[in-house]
Structure 1
Amino acid sequence: MKQSTQFQLSFMMFLEFFIWGGWFVTLGSFLGNNLNATGAETGMAFSTQSWGAIIAPFIIGLIADRFFNAEKILGFLHLIGAILMYQMSQSTEFATFYPYVLGYMIAYMPTLALVNSVSFNQMKDPAKDFPVIRVFGTIGWIIAGLIISFVFKWDSESNIASGMLSNTFTMVAIASAVLGVFSFTLPKTPPRTVKGEKVSLSEILGLDALKLLKDKNFLVFFISSVLICIPLAFYYQNISLFLTEYKVEDSTAWAALGQISEVGFMLLLPFFFKRFGFKKTILFGMLAWGIRYALFAYGNAGDLFFMLAIGIALHGICYDFFFVSGQIYTDTKAGEKVKSAAQGLITLATYGVGMLVGFWVAGQIADKNVLDDGTHSWSDLWAFPALFAIGVLLFFAILFKNEKVEYKV
């Protein structure tokens, strides 16, 4: 791959996740402090990610894969996103904010697949080249958090009180506009299917992979994947508000510790996978969810702050050991014919259905744990996902029969 192409793809990936990390992490604090949103309303806002994930296959399958170059669709969606993101920054009540965030996530979620398509289309050896490109996405997410905390200090107690968190949307709107324009300069990635060729609904949604559910082990894994997204939703929806209510300074930078650990544990994943096998690696990931929320429940911003920091740092194990291992397992079980369909089905089930349910549950639990002063009883709130994660762990441990899964690196 040419160095110029590698730079283009790396910059694309950096901006793609800088955009996501630049507003999604602080969304909970913005909704609670700027818009006085309830837990249920906060759940609605976060669940737009799930609606975007459900709708994304239609945009990719019916438009991007058939009629237009991927880089052009990418640019168009990010330009639309820039406009919607700016409108979000101007919103002063939830009723006006929600339509914009819903529209934005419907536009943004398909771009996650599009940046991958543009990248893979330029690579002769994706297994070798893609991780080098993708890591810039994680760096982008981390940099966004550091800028919010250390450069502009929008997440400081005083700036949150004065409504400065809305500036995160303005920052992201600018970045989205830059990526939108830049996308039109990316290497050409033509449609993968021939114009006029019929594409079935089952192909678009990955339903061709449903036959894999006849395998008991895969069915147990599939159900576990959906269920574990419920405690995952609690983290995404509440981490920012949790830290700001505890008056943790530079809370967005601390939240970025989760992405830093994600990089580190990704490097350790091959060792765990080969040393302990697929089942135990998955169980490590599930156990980490339970431990993380227990640390959140009993830690504080004072002498027990280290418990909060460790809980955030466990994100690498929570995410990599379950979801990345799950992608490898799915790839192995599916075979060449339905490999893409199987990954699409898992994505639809987790980020679509699982997270949709998870954000709704998290919103209901949050509303039940509001104190008289408007803050939350976090020890009670975090107890639910901790126990739920342990329940999923027991379900998987008992019903999933150990099997050897090859991890090709």
Structure 2
Amino acid sequence: MNTIQIRLSFMMFLQFFIWGAWFVTLGTFLGNNLAATDGQIGMAFATQSWGAIIAPFIIGLIADRYFNAERILGIIHLIGAGLMYLMANTTDFTLFYPYVLGYMILYMPTLALVNSISFRTMKDPKADFSKVRVFGTVGWIVAGLAISYVFSWDSPQAIDQGYLENTFLLAAVASLVLGIFSFTLPKTPPKISKDETVSIKDMLGLDALKMLKDRNFLVFFIASVLICIPLAFYYQNANPFLAEIGVNNPTGIMTIGQVSEVLFMLLIPFFLTRFGIKKTLLIGMLAWALRYLLFAYGNSGELMFMLIIGIALHGICYDFFFVAGQIYTDSKAGEKFKSSAQGLITLATYGVGMLIGFWAAGQISTIYTFSDGLHDWEMIWLWPAGFAFVVFVIYMFTFKNEEIEYEKVDI
């Protein structure tokens, strides 16, 4: 690994360390430190979706036209460090929400910025990007392990004492470091001239809507939006669920999901070759239903193994649907629509799909909350399990299998 790759790897490590340091425990923090309702917790998580929806405008109007990508990355993370500090010191949800909304509107564009800096700096992105991107997953894992096993901020006693606010301070420090470090990254000037006209359709990738005329891709597109609804339940409820039922080191245990994500990523080429795109996607969707059934009937005692398996299924859930879906989208798009097609899928899934999902998770969690503030987790998890299974069945009977040339895809 050369010097450039090392610097890019450190950038990726910090980028996802920051996200993993506070986002995983956000629901637990809001419920315990700010006494937020399940509906309010859903609103907070939905800021990720609003950020995903607004991100193309920030990238298209500012980053791609006026400033070097590494500079705007640095500025955003410096501002983000300040917002993280404010969130750590907020004791009321009505004050917290504007901070987290502002943060996510700024953070979500940085996901595209770090990719842009990497792709435009590497001599051979197809060969080198995955080697650099994996350090982002490592960063997320390290953040979770630090919270659980180094600082123990998610232990029952620490949660009761409000120590989860420290996760925001940890993210603030990492954001400050990345903000400063970003200015040392390779120069990545704007791709578009200030005088060049870029339409909203171009920024949002709406040219790729023409792909929806293909029946198979339309079915895949709709399924992608729908499967993000049960996905939102995991992001929003998994950590509060584990903490509430008395699982020790819940944040650290959840990093098993990221480890499995790396492992199953390596198996995607095999599954695409052996089973084809339809069966690979179906395996991913079925895994969502199975994991939520395991959550519904597992516990922190003798059935703890069910929860561990459910968390470990994250690699199949995410890789076999979302990563395989990106490969499928790329293969269907052709050279003209490759970027816009990926942008459209991201907007539809992390934007629209998860926005609906976070709202639904908040509403269902509220319905199944007891008077003492505890939850009927069995019923809460059965809802996304059933929904994922319905999407699985519909997809199975409406999507026709087809061969794709995944070897030509940049992952």
In structure 2, distance between residues paired with 1:206 and 1:170: 36
In structure 2, distance between residues paired with 1:405 and 1:287: 22
In structure 1, distance between residues paired with 2:52 and 2:140: 19
Instruction: Report 1:6-405 matches (<5 A).
Output: 6-405=5-404
SS of corresponding position for 1:281: helix
SS of corresponding position for 1:408: helix
In structure 2, distance between residues paired with 1:5 and 1:286: 38
Question: Where has structure 1 moved over 2 Å in runs of 4 or more?
Answer: none
In structure 1, distance between residues paired with 2:273 and 2:360: 36
Paired amino acid for 2:134? V
Question: TM-score, length-normalised on structure 2?
Answer: 0.98
Displacement of 1:126 in angstroms is 1.0
Q: Please, which runs of 5 or more residues in structure 2 have no aligned partner?
A: none
Paired amino acid for 1:265? F
SS of corresponding position for 1:37: coil
In structure 1, distance between residues paired with 2:31 and 2:389: 29
Paired amino acid for 1:59? I
Displacement of 1:372 in angstroms is 2.3
Displacement of 1:316 in angstroms is 0.2
In structure 2, distance between residues paired with 1:83 and 1:309: 36
SS of corresponding position for 1:335: helix
What CA deviation, in whole Å up to 9, does each residue of 1:271-320 have, x standing for no partner?
Answer: 11110000000000000000000000000000000000000000000000
What CA deviation, in whole Å up to 9, does each residue of 1:113-169 have, x standing for no partner?
Answer: 000000011112111100000000000000000000011000000000000000000
In structure 2, distance between residues paired with 1:66 and 1:136: 29
Paired amino acid for 1:179? L
Question: TM-score, length-normalised on structure 1?
Answer: 0.99
Paired amino acid for 2:197? K
In structure 1, distance between residues paired with 2:333 and 2:271: 22
In structure 2, distance between residues paired with 1:4 and 1:264: 26
In structure 1, distance between residues paired with 2:163 and 2:311: 24
What CA deviation, in whole Å up to 9, does each residue of 1:312-362 have, x standing for no partner?
Answer: 000000000000010001001110011100000000000000000000000
In structure 1, distance between residues paired with 2:177 and 2:388: 40
Displacement of 1:402 in angstroms is 1.2
Q: Identity, % of aligned pairs? A: 68
SS of corresponding position for 2:195: coil
In structure 2, distance between residues paired with 1:233 and 1:171: 24
What CA deviation, in whole Å up to 9, does each residue of 1:12-45 have, x standing for no partner?
Answer: 0000000000000000100111111111100000
In structure 2, distance between residues paired with 1:405 and 1:36: 49
CA RMSD in angstroms, aligned pairs only: 0.7
Displacement of 1:174 in angstroms is 0.6
Displacement of 1:389 in angstroms is 0.2
Moved more, 369-378 or 348-357: 369-378
